[in-house]
């Protein structure tokens, strides 16, 4: 397999390791949004959240919480974004399930969500359509 994150886990590619246990691995992002921007990945390869096992998703979530608390404290951050992308259209560039833990400061200039509003009937139709696919 030619997965860069799998190679990082195996130690074939260097990384700045933050944490590792039997199931997960955390390391600094090579292109950070902020100081302390960390990636958390499962040690088993999954393309993204949608293909990952429920067990691996739960284990990653547990590690994400641990890392989020650590980076918030380390950098005295005002907040932390937990970000995850699935597929090219969503901005995923490495196809190994991973979660970004991004420490944030007030007025740091990073704007993730532009303000948009849905009118009532559009929102109701969308909710109904999504519910059908659960």
Please give the positions annotated as active site: 98
Burial 30-48 (b: 16+ CB within 10 A, else e): eeebbebbbbbbbbbbbeb
CB 26 within 8 A of CB 63: yes
Q: Which of 11, 73, 9 is nearest to 36 (CA)?
A: 73
How far is the CA of 110 from the CAs of 64, 98, 105, 114, 116, in angstroms?
21, 21, 9, 11, 17
Place of tokens 């696919």: 133
């Amino acid at each position: 397999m030619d997965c860069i994150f799998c190679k990082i886990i195996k130690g074939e590619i260097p990384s700045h390791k933050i944490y590792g246990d039997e199931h997960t691995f955390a390391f600094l992002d090579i292109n950070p949004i902020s100081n302390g921007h960390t990636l958390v990945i499962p040690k088993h390869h999954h393309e993204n959240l949608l293909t990952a096992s429920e067990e691996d998703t739960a284990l990653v979530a547990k590690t994400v919480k641990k890392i989020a608390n650590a980076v918030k404290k380390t950098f005295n951050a005002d907040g932390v974004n937990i970000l995850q992308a699935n597929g090219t259209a969503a901005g995923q560039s490495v196809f190994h399930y991973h979660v970004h833990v991004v420490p944030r400061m007030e007025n740091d200039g990073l704007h993730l969500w532009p303000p948009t509003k849905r009118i009532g009937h559009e929102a109701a139709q969308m909710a109904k359509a999504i519910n059908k696919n659960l």
